[in-house]
Amino acid sequence: MARAMILLWALTLILLVPAISVVAQTIGVNWGTITFRQLDPNIVVKMLHDNGFKKVKLFEPDSGILDALAGTDIEVMLGIPNYFLQSLSSDYKSAQAWVKQNVTTYNPGKKDGVNIKIVTVGNEAFLTSYNGTYINITYPAMKNIYKALNEAGYGNKQIKVSTPVNGDVYTTTSYRPSDGVFRPDIKDVMIQICEFLQENESPFIVNIYPFFNLYQTPGFPEEYAFFDNNGNFSLEDHGAYYTNVFDANVDNLVASMRKAKFDNLKIVVGEVGWPSDGNVYATPKNAQRFYNGLFKKLAEKKGTPLMPNLDPEVYLFCLLDENFKSTDPGLFERHWGMFTFDGQPKYPMDLSGKGQNKMLVGAKNVPYLAKQWCVHNKEASNQQDLPEKVGYACNNTDCTSIAEGASCGGISADMNASVAFNMYYQMQDQNKKACDFQGLAKITTNDPSTGNCHFPIMIKKYVPSSHSHHGHHSGAGYSSSYLSLPFLFQIVVGICLVLFA
């Protein structure tokens, strides 16, 4: 009897132990580092393993991160920032030097090396907001890097070369995805690049952001940004029905490539994701809904109307929040992570696409500062100075969470002040003097978090190993991800036509 009970127990336990979610082979993550305090890359790599991620995309070689990835089986897509394009295109020696320092050093292809699979030259270099700065130099830079990789012994497709583009490299002559064409001002360059990719069996990498469609386009139908569209919106295109803008965007690209006679290029989605804070549309609920739909779609290997068999590799944007990113595109820019800056999961998800949502495995052994916070002192007599002090704090820290519609927004002036003071205090390494504000602030050991409004504690400074060259990145060329306005307007016009026809 007892034995039977134990057996039963054991069986129940086995059934209850959460299996590491099986990440579809096609899912990778973008790992950016524009953050006030970087987590120790070794902790992050452990977290990647714990969640089953096998592919990462880096915006530039970071020696600390690459060292942490060495000896693992994680595949790396390694980026070169746009500010390098000028020298790489005009000077072959600089391409050789780049490959030597940033590839050869890490022994790709060796057991103890970094599993670098592809080098991406530039990032969204053809964005219209760059005014054509990189149009003439991206392709020559790609060729030089390709040649330098060959010469260094990584030819024969061991390490491929590509360049991630934004959806604004193509447009459509109507509202229909099937009328897609490459943007006229870069058509010739796109054809050259496609030829290069085809010859070298490299993928076409495109970043796709339904969030931006919704955020930037007045009247954009919210349901169309998600995959589980409730079925009340669709875009008709020669008998095919699009129920999400992601598919429409992919097919716009497919049509553009076909028109230029490229039928077989492999498509990789370099960035796709949804932010969780800083805007009314950027909520954990929407992020979860978007990812759920995406993972389900990937698991079902449901292609698009033009490419029913498309099973693209996708890189989620992004792994960790980056709280030093520019907020020019919007306050949500600092909240794209599936994890907070300190590696904690934000909402339940199921990477296998089976809809069995649970929290991902967070970073372990994170070195936090003391468990204390800085909050508004309501007893102080000089409350009239509060707005100015909050303004000062916000000018010197991250206040994106108190914006309208954000996680700590719209609660009270008191909450606003506490969030601002705490962020400032944490970013000053909990220096006592940083929690004063002429008596308007005080330190507490009671967590002031409430509802969705989370009060973070800063992590200790990570000191990279001696041969690393850390520092804050300039941010130049980091993803900004817009979809071209003309295309958006066409889509909206198309939508109106469909809705009101």
Cis ω on the peptide bond leading into residue 496 (within 30° of 0)? no
Q: Is 102 in the site for ligand NAG (CB under 6 A)?
A: yes
- Given the complex with ligand NAG, which of 7 and 493 has the nearer CB atom? 493
- Shortest Cβ 477–ligand NAG spacing (Å): 10
Orientation of helix 485-500 relative to helix 245-259, angle to 10°? 120
Q: Is 136 in the site for ligand NAG (CB under 6 A)?
A: yes
Question: Interacting stretch for ligand NAG, rule CB under 6 A, among 324-332, 347-355, 375-383, 412-420?
Answer: 412-420
Of 128, 61, 57, residue with least CA distance to 317: 57
Please identify which residue in 92, 130, 196, 462 interacts with ligand NAG, judged by CB under 6 A: 130
Q: Is 271 designated active site?
A: yes
Positive or negative, the CA dihedral 62, 68, 71, 74 is negative
Binding mask 27-46 for ligand NAG (x = CB under 6 A): --------------------
Cis ω on the peptide bond leading into residue 453 (within 30° of 0)? no
- Given the complex with ligand NAG, which of 144 and 344 has the nearer CB atom? 144
Binding mask 383-402 for ligand NAG (x = CB under 6 A): -----x--xx--x------x
Check residue 22 and give left, alpha or beta (phi > 0: left; psi -120 to 50: alpha): beta
Please identify which residue in 68, 159, 169, 403 interacts with ligand NAG, judged by CB under 6 A: 403
Question: Interacting stretch for ligand NAG, rule CB under 6 A, among 93-101, 293-301, 358-366, 442-450?
Answer: 93-101
Residue 172, helix vs strand vs coil: strand
- Given the complex with ligand NAG, which of 232 and 450 has the nearer CB atom? 232
Other CB atoms within a 10 A radius of the CB of residue 195 amount to: 14
Please identify which residue in 28, 33, 56, 60 interacts with ligand NAG, judged by CB under 6 A: 60
Locate 294 and state its tokens.
Answer: 């995406």
Q: Is 69 in the site for ligand NAG (CB under 6 A)?
A: no
- Shortest Cβ 101–ligand NAG spacing (Å): 4
CA 460 to chain centre: 24
Q: Is 322 in the site for ligand NAG (CB under 6 A)?
A: no
Locate 171 and state its tokens.
Answer: 């447009």
Other CB atoms within a 10 A radius of the CB of residue 190 amount to: 22
Ramachandran angles phi, psi of 242, nearest 5°: -100, 125
- Cα–Cα distance for residue pair 137/233, rounded to 1 Å: 41
Number of residues that bind ligand NAG (CB under 6 A): 26
The beta strands (E) that lie in 63-183 are given as 75-80, 115-121, 160-162, 164-166, 170-172, 180-182
- Shortest Cβ 6–ligand NAG spacing (Å): 50
Q: Is 416 in the site for ligand NAG (CB under 6 A)?
A: yes
Active site residues: 124, 271
